[in-house]
Amino acid sequence: MIPVRLVLASRDEQYIELFLHYVHNSEFDRNLVVTAFSLEEAFHKYMESSGESVDAVLCEEAFLEQGVMDKRQRIIWMCLTEGSGANFAGYQVFKYQPLHELLSTVLEQIQSTNEVRLPDIGRAMVIGVYSAVGGCGKTIVALNMAKQLAAEGRKVFYLNLETFVSSILFAEQGLPEGRGAGMARLLYDLKATADRKEPMRQPISTYTLRHPLFHGDMLGPVDNINELLEMESHDTKELIDYIAGSGVYDMVIVDGDSYLNARTEGVLENADKVVWIVTDDGEVMRKTGTALTHLERHHPSLYHSMMNKVVFALNRCSGESLNGVPRPDLTIRAALSLIPPRGAGGRQDAMMYSPVYQRDILRLCRELLSGNVADSGAREGVR
């Protein structure tokens, strides 16, 4: 599900800090992506350049300008007031009420006004891991994230949607445990129940395997890859929703193909956060820029929703980047160290067990969970 993109504007920096801290440490973190500003100039500049990707604005009266509101009529505008007397004919929200009540009121207003569908509270957080170029280490990053999150006590599901599954998943040292019915059976059952307009009755454990490499669950691969090739974006959504909504897991890590097929688009659209992997290689940067341009031109709604939840991670980082980024929106938010291959296991084995690489992955996971990715741009406006 795509979170609501809310802009908060208040001259009170302390109020902004408390607001952001509460959101990122409550159930509202899955429902909202908050961008905050304390300066009017920064707020209006942001709305001019990024207003199309905003769902709602909650701001003090000083930030309201009729011209900006007229240009952005699709946006839901709400005035943050300290009492009566606000010169605003639209929806008003009292500033000094318990934040749980305030946020519940804001979300109810957004839903009733725009019929925005919110993520289900209690549903597992879904993190999509993507790269526009093969060979950037996407699967290694996804597996390491699953491993680190499981090590912290979270119940993790790793969903591999690659057409051709990486060999590291089924290497001798990482054979899954159990005899779950697997991906093919689950896809069949989801389709069959949908055709009959019935809910799924089988528990997720019917289909899963336990993988000792990252101590989490996964699905056994399909024998006939046509079953994957025939998946549409809505099939991907149903699969992700079934796993994330099973009530068993805290986190679902989704690893898809490195090209924009229907499955990949389904992952980018339905993930709560997206980790996009790049490397310091000129050709990788060029192709990544081309992929972003394609999304922006041909899938603008997907592009804007994804850019509100994406973190670009530079894998195999050896120091200062040598190649410039091809677009201003490709901002590197995380760096994962280059780990030289050692022994017969090669680089993949080294990264699965390197303390340095695990440290970098842990930092990435904490950023995703704390919401720093979502408000990294926001804090530029909080001065």
Around Cβ 214, how many Cβ atoms within 10 Å?
24
As a whole number, mean pLDDT of residues 29-35 equals 82
Identify the pLDDT of residue 172: 54
| Residue 1 banded pLDDT, cuts 50, 70, 90 | very low
Q: Which of 106, 110, 36 is nearest to 76 (CA)?
A: 110
* Strands across the sheet containing 332-337: 208-211, 216-219, 156-160, 251-255, 125-130, 273-279, 310-317, 332-337
Q: Collect all residues with Cβ–Cβ distance below 8 Å to 324 and sequence separation of at least 6.
A: 285
Q: Are 157 and 251 in contact (CB under 8 A)?
A: yes
Say whether pLDDT at 151 is over 80: yes
Is this prediction's pTM over 0.85? no
Identify the pLDDT of residue 111: 75
As a whole number, mean pLDDT of residues 39-66 equals 85
Give percent of the chain with pLDDT exceeding 90.
Answer: 52
| Residue 381 banded pLDDT, cuts 50, 70, 90 | very low
**Which tens digit of pLDDT belongs to each residue from 225-261?**
999 999 999 999 999 999 999 888 989 999 999 988 9
| Residue 195 banded pLDDT, cuts 50, 70, 90 | very high
**Which tens digit of pLDDT belongs to each residue from 88-117?**
767 889 999 999 999 998 988 887 765 444
Say whether pLDDT at 74 is over 80: no
